[in-house]
Every structure is written in structure tokens, then in C-alpha cells.
Amino acid sequence: MVFQVLHPSIPPFTWQRPIGLGWETPYTVRYASNLDDGPWHGMPLGGFGAGCIGRSSRGDFNFWHLDGGEHIFQSRPACQFSVFEQVGHRPSQAYALCTHPPANGSLSTWQWYPDSIISQGAEGMDETATDANSTGTYHALYPRSWFRYERIFQSQLTCEQFSPIWAGNYQETSYPVVVFAWTATNPTDEPITLSVMLTWENMVGWFTNTNQVPEVLIRDDGSPVYSYRPAWEQSEGNINRWVEGGDRVGFVLDRLAQSDPPAEGEGQMAMAALADPSNTEVFYQGRWQPTGDGSEVWFPFCRDGSLSNQLDESPAGSNESIGAALAVRFTLQPGETRQIPFALAWDLPVTEFATGITYYRRYTDFFGWDGGNGWAIASTALKHWQQWQSNIIKWQQPILDRNDLPNWFKSALFNELYILTAGGTLWSAADDRDPLGQFAVLECIDYRWYESLDVRLYGSFGLVMLWPELDKSVLRAFARAIPTSDARTRVIGYYYTQGIASPIAVRKAAGATPHDLGAPNEHPWEKTNYTSYQDCNLWKDLGSDFVLQVYRTFVLTGGNDYQFLQECWTAIVTTLTYLKTFDHDGDGIPENSGAPDQTFDDWRLQGVSAYCGGLWIAALEATAAIGEILKNRGLLNSDVHVTTPPETFLWTVQEWLTQARPFYHQKLWNGQYYQLDSDSGSTIVMADQLCGQYYAHLLGLPDIVPMDCARIALQTIFNTCFIQFNEYLSSGQFRPQSYTSVQDARSAPPSPEEISQSLPPVMVRLPIGAANGVQLDGSPENPNATHPLEIWTGINFGLAAFLVQMGMRDEAMTLTAAVVQQIYDHGLQFRTPEAITAEGTFRACLYLRPMAIWAVLREFDAEGG
């Protein structure tokens, strides 16, 4: 990995990639039914809950999350920037700034930008943008990204693209807009004429599901899925209108006969630029055919950087698509630098879930709900873009300036926040109950349900540290859901994958903490517990997860939002009382059932487990602390939904703690680590066995286990799950089931060299991180196991945070660096998965849990404090 300053306008420590450079052996998906778009992912553009667009390092716009909770990955070649250049009286040149021409033969007259070719092995980031074969470099430091173009144009050109996202901001962060700030410098001794053109296809109306009542099915991995059929390319009635407002000019991409109020997918898009008659010329083409050869746009543009200045507001017909084009031409004298901003906005104010269940998006609190504000949003961006840019820099700079943080860590820290834009994010308009609206991020696209509570135990650290009021919004939604019930029944997908009959389970039991806040095809926040892979009413970690996150958010945000604690108190009492019913032997700790009943939902735990038992004890300590805080402030009131008086419940909690504390240690401690559980007989070392201890220390609660035992266990985890596991992989002893070609050819076992040759090159990219659970020598207990042998990126970051907390900083950074390298060197950037494997595969990309890297920063800060 190389992170360095290449241009004064680009900060250090960005993730970078030569423009158009591919990957020889990127990670591929583990299960064929899961999402794998390939490695061409760039930083998403757009505000939280506003929908977003992605542009890859080859320059194409290919990622469309403009329908809440839904995913489209497809390049639209007509959506593009192009540059014309003429130096003095020399022949001119013009390129559309994407290295990937359309595969269907459209836009055949356009000249496409040449890609980078690196001769020293096209894998990883060992190459720099100074390589003679590079045509430029893509950089990303969320929420800003850059294209720096090199060796093709005589001028020095950089395009910075960003949305107005910065910590603690609850207005502009929601805006559906992206600014493209072009910086052009003339390093020659001759004048250079440049023209920058933005072309865009009118996509209004495309982003809604035409399958009004999608059937929910069970996928081959046991997960519930439904079909999404967007109104893709259905442009009939779309029109493009030219707009001039002061020094801002551009197009509103609109649609005839829209509903009032607007339906999902209806509204506007807008593209705008600044017009300064003293030093720029603006050209336009109001209607052209993106599916044709593109000559009506390209011929005048490649000739002299102009367009025909034709306006045509006739609507698109049936099976027709239309685009608009906007160009700004200017001349730079030798040594001169100029900035040219463009803005792209979309006003699609409504998200619809199940038919008739609609919400307005948060940004409508500032621009209105009628879907006619595309121009106002784009115009606002052109007015304030420099201040927005300054606010982002002001937020990020203190972290970027720190000498105690590795450079690669600074890059990954900000870039992992991408999920808050790209994760199918919802952010609703404000109302009396929720004055900042309601917020939610998908677990991932493969597991398409919102704010999975077990996942956000680590994965919400970025949110609580930077936008804490949004984190409180999510936890309030869980608090409201805990007392509710949903008697609908369903089969459980896990049993489907095992080929055995499934028990029938109710969807949501009263008192149980739901696993998630629902899915895009139903009613998020109201119909919870969507996942049916397991019966989450039986899970032994969710109730504890809820309590710990409530207290964590209280503590990490100043420890003074007593109303927030009071709002969650009834749910805390309710869910802990429910969870205690699984303590069948009366030892004070709920037992795991033998079915996968916690976040590792392919992994059977039996009896008292180190993972769930530790979380339970930490949650009891947090409850005791919350109760004392509320009691001391006179806020510990009775609730009609809870029969046990508050004082009695606090006394009961202390009783449970008195039982549970000694039993947990005595039953599970074996001198080297805490055993997986009390009853299975497994000798596996679980990486996340002391998550409860981590949280207890984080929140200033009494330790769950003796500190000397915690240190010994943590050292064992690091040595076993990371060092020994990766040494075991490199030895060639581990041969996954999927690679059998060498063994099938003969009866004798293959040599390590033969195994290595039969595996994809990714197998040798060691270390790849810490496995979830292996034996003391690093070998698998069961070589065909799933979750134990996966490297969960978010769990690794959580483990790294624990290492820092316990004074093992070097080990923490070694582990974190291994995982970051797998993500950002091997085509997983901006689609970080839940899991990577030794086979060179991944599972569940665009995952929420990896935002746990912010927990590592939290421990650095606590250590420094």
C-alpha cells in the first residue's frame, strides 16, 4: 500500500489506484447466489439517506442506490465528464473520461480515455502514479475523492468530487447532491483552451420497484430474498429544461404528468455550472440520444469544445431515452490556475417500502416535499461548495495530522464511513416524535434488513462517535420494538440449508429484542425481526447488545442525556427479564441452546458461552449503572408495561450478578483462554470470546474477568487466531473443499507445493487476519466449518480495539493492517465484506460491521487521555 501526497489539493493518506488499472485476481464471492459486482467500486456520492451514486476508478458512474434499500450496479456511459484541450495552435484532443467504452456499441463516435498499464505486476498498490504507463490516479478519502489526469493532456487537471458530509452535521449531510470541483493549471508557455463537459441521462422515474408485491423466497443460503425490478430505462415522458438563475446555468431533468404528491421515483435531477461571461463560455445541448452514436454531442465538442446550443423540451417517447449536455470552455494563460465547479443533484423525495408505506427523506425538511427542487439543491451547492469543502477539511484535519496513527489507518478510517452513504441508508423527514427523523443502514445487500443489532454492536462506532443523534434514533426504534409482538409464523432458513424440517417460529415474541428494524419491502422501524435464517427470539446476545449500546451511547456522548436513558429504561427491564428466562439451571446466566443462537449464526454453542455470557454480565452491570443514574435524578419511574417496581428490579439485577460473575470465570477459564462454552466440549479458541470484557472496560464498568486472565486470554487469541492460523495457512496443510483437483488425480495426498499451485494467487496474500475460532495450534477444529474459519473484518477491528485497550498497540496495528490490506489492495474497496476466506473469496459485501475500525480510534484516544 502506498499513501502519499501527489498534489497540493489532494490530502495525504488517500486510497489510490491508477485510473483504469484492473485487478489480476480480485476476491470473488463465496456463494454464487450472493452479490458480487466485481472490483470496480469507487467512493459513493450523495448524502445520508438521500440515495447515492458511485463512480469507479476507471471513471464510469455505475452504482445506483437511489431507491431506498435497493441495489443497481450498471455503467451508464452517457453519464460522464469529457474534456477538450487545445494548446496554442496545435491539433486539439478530446476524451470522455472513462476507460471503459460501452459494450453495446453506443456512443461509438466518442473517444475514450486511455487506461493505466502497470508493467511491474498489476496487483495491489505497490505501484505509484508516477509510473510512466499511468494515465492518472484515482484517490479517495471519504467523503471526498479525486481524479488526477496525467500524461494525456498538457494541462494539469484534477476533478474533486464530494458531498457535504461532516461530523455533527444533521442538515447538509442529508443533501442529495455532489459537487465536482475541477482544478486546471497551465504548466506550458502557450495558452491552453479547455472545455469541460458534463453529460447526463434523464433517469427520473427509474428508481422504483415495478414488482408491487414481491414474493419472499428462501435463497440457497437460507436467507429471505425478494425480487427487485426497477423501472430501469423507462423514460417515456421525461423532459430536459434549461434554467438560468443569476450566475448559475444548467438543466433540470424532469418528467411530465408526475403525481401530486410525488410517488417513489418521481421528482427531478439537475446539473448546473457557474457562468462568468468575463472568462468562460457556456454551451449546451438540451436533448440527445444516449443510446445512439453520440455524434450530436461529440462532433461539436471534439472540434472546438462547444455544443450546438439547441434546446428541445419535447418529451421522450416510448422506448426512448434522452440526455442533456453542459460544457464550460475557458482559456488558461501560461502558469494560470482556475477552478470550475459543477453540481449534480437529485430530488426524489419519497421512499416507498410495501405498497402504500411511504416516507419523505430527511433533506425534504430543508427543500420541500413536492419533488420540484432539483435546481434549488444544485444551486445551493454551487453557492456553498467552498464552505462545505472547508468544513470537511476542518473535521478531518486533526486526525490526518496525528503522528501516532499509521497513514494507512487514517485512510481506512474515513473510507470505511462510506457505508453510511452506500448502505441502502434511510433517513426520514422529521416529525414531533423524531425531531431529526429516523435513521437506518442495511446489514448488507445480501442480508437486506436494517440495523442488525448484533452487527452494530461493533459496526455503529463510527455513527455514535460522529453523528450520535442518529445512533440514538436507531436505539430508540429498538426500544419501541422490544415490548411488541408479531404472531405471524415462518420457517427458519438455517434448517433449510441443513436439509431438515424446520420448526415453525413466531416472527417477534413480546419482550424479545428484535434482531433488526425490518426490510425495504415491508415497513422498516415498525415491522421488525425480518431475518428468518434463525429464530432470533431465541438469541442470547441481542438483549445484552441493546443494553450495552444504550449505555455506550450515553457514556460516549457526554453522559448527560438522561432523557435518552429514561426513554430506553422500560425496554431494558423488559428485554433482560425475557432473556433471563433462558437461564434454565438458575446459575444466573442464560444458556445457549445448541442451535446457532447469536451473531455467529452458523456456529453451535451449548450451555454457558464465553461470548454471550460475558455480554450478559456486562449488560447487567450497565443496567445497574443506568438505574443508579436515573434513581439519583429522580427519573426511575414505574411503567405500566413493567410489573416489577424499578427498585426491586435493580435489586434483582444485583442478585443475578452475584450468581453469574464467579460461575462464568470458574466454568470457562482453563488457564489460557475462556472456553467456547460449558457443554460442547470444544477446545476452540474464539477470537471474540471477551467482547463483554471489552465493553465493560470501555464503559468504565467493573471488569467481567480478572485482568491478568483477560491479558493471558487476549495474548492467546492473538497468537492462535492470527499468528498461528496464518502460519498454518502458509504451511499448505489447509486445503478447502472447493480445491480438490490435485487430490482427485491420485490417492496419495498432495504436497504443499501442489496445493499452493492449485489455489488462486490470493491464497498467498498472508496474513489475511484473525479467524473467528481455531485450535491452539491455529488449525481448524472442523476443516469444513463456515463461520469459525472466516475472517470477519468487523470482528477483527473490534479485536484490535480490545488489544489497544489492553496495552497491546503493536499487535492491534499489525492485525488491523492485515485486514485493511486485504480490503484495499484486492478489489474490495467501498464494498467491504463481512467475511473473507483463505480460498480468496468473500461473503456479504457492503457490510455494516467493518465501521468498527472507529472503535480502534476510540481506544487510541482513550489510551492517550
What are residue 325's DSSP bridge partners?
A: 199, 285
Q: Which three cell numbers stand for residue 537?
A: 427470539
pLDDT digits (tens, 9 = 90+) for 87-124: 999 999 999 999 999 999 999 999 999 998 754 443 43
Q: Could you identify the residue written with the cell 487469541?
A: 717
* Cα–Cα distance measured from residue 437 to residue 251, given in angstroms and rounded to the nearest whole number: 31
**What is the SS3 assignment for 670?**
coil
What are residue 147's DSSP bridge partners?
A: 138, 159
Q: What is the pLDDT of residue 863?
A: 77
* Cα–Cα distance measured from residue 193 to residue 85, given in angstroms and rounded to the nearest whole number: 6
Single-letter code of the amino acid located at 794: G
**Do 661 and 624 form a contact (C-beta atoms < 8 A)?**
no
Buried b (16+ CB within 10 A) or exposed e, 787-816: bbbbbbbbbbbbbbbbbbbbebbebbbbbb
Cα 255-62-760 angle, rounded to 5 deg: 160
pLDDT digits (tens, 9 = 90+) for 454-473: 999 999 999 999 999 999 99
**Do 424 and 441 form a contact (C-beta atoms < 8 A)?**
yes
Please name the residues in contact with 369: beta carbons below 8 A apart, sequence gap of 6 or more.
261, 262, 349, 360, 429
Q: Which three cell numbers stand for residue 140?
A: 479517495
Q: What is the pLDDT of residue 128?
A: 43
Alpha carbon distances (Å) from 29 to 38, 433, 685, 763, 818: 9, 42, 27, 14, 20
Nearest partner of 57 among 11, 13, 117, 16, judged by Cα: 16
* Cα–Cα distance measured from residue 591 to residue 826, given in angstroms and rounded to the nearest whole number: 40
Tally Cβ neighbours within 10 Å of residue 357: 14
What are residue 162's DSSP bridge partners?
A: 144, 179
* Cα–Cα distance measured from residue 5 to residue 766, given in angstroms and rounded to the nearest whole number: 28
Q: What is the pLDDT of residue 126?
A: 40
* Cα–Cα distance measured from residue 341 to residue 271, given in angstroms and rounded to the nearest whole number: 11
* Cα–Cα distance measured from residue 271 to residue 349, given in angstroms and rounded to the nearest whole number: 17
Cα 749-754-757 angle, rounded to 5 deg: 145
Tally Cβ neighbours within 10 Å of residue 439: 29
Q: What is the pLDDT of residue 362?
A: 98
Q: What is the pLDDT of residue 68?
A: 96
Compute the half-sphere exposure of residue 70: CA atoms within 13 Å on the CB side of its CA: 25
**Do 202 and 214 form a contact (C-beta atoms < 8 A)?**
no
**Grouped pLDDT means (10 residues each) for the chain, 865 residues:** 50 95 93 94 98 98 97 98 96 97 95 79 40 88 98 97 98 98 96 98 97 86 90 97 96 96 97 94 98 98 98 96 98 96 98 96 98 98 98 97 96 98 98 98 97 98 98 98 96 88 94 98 97 96 98 98 97 97 96 94 96 98 97 83 81 96 96 97 97 98 98 98 96 61 33 42 72 97 93 98 97 97 97 94 97 98 76
Nearest partner of 512 among 531, 539, 477, 493, judged by Cα: 539
Nearest partner of 519 among 584, 629, 426, 436, judged by Cα: 426
Tally Cβ neighbours within 10 Å of residue 743: 15
* Cα–Cα distance measured from residue 593 to residue 539, given in angstroms and rounded to the nearest whole number: 9
Please name the residues in contact with 793: beta carbons below 8 A apart, sequence gap of 6 or more.
769, 819, 822, 823, 832, 833, 834, 835, 836, 847, 849, 850
Going by the DSSP 8-state scheme, the letter that residue 219 receives in this structure is -
Q: What is the pLDDT of residue 213?
A: 84
What are residue 193's DSSP bridge partners?
A: 86, 331
Single-letter code of the amino acid located at 528: T
Please name the residues in contact with 326: beta carbons below 8 A apart, sequence gap of 6 or more.
197, 198, 199, 249, 250, 251, 271, 272, 273, 282, 283, 284, 342
Q: What is the pLDDT of residue 118?
A: 57
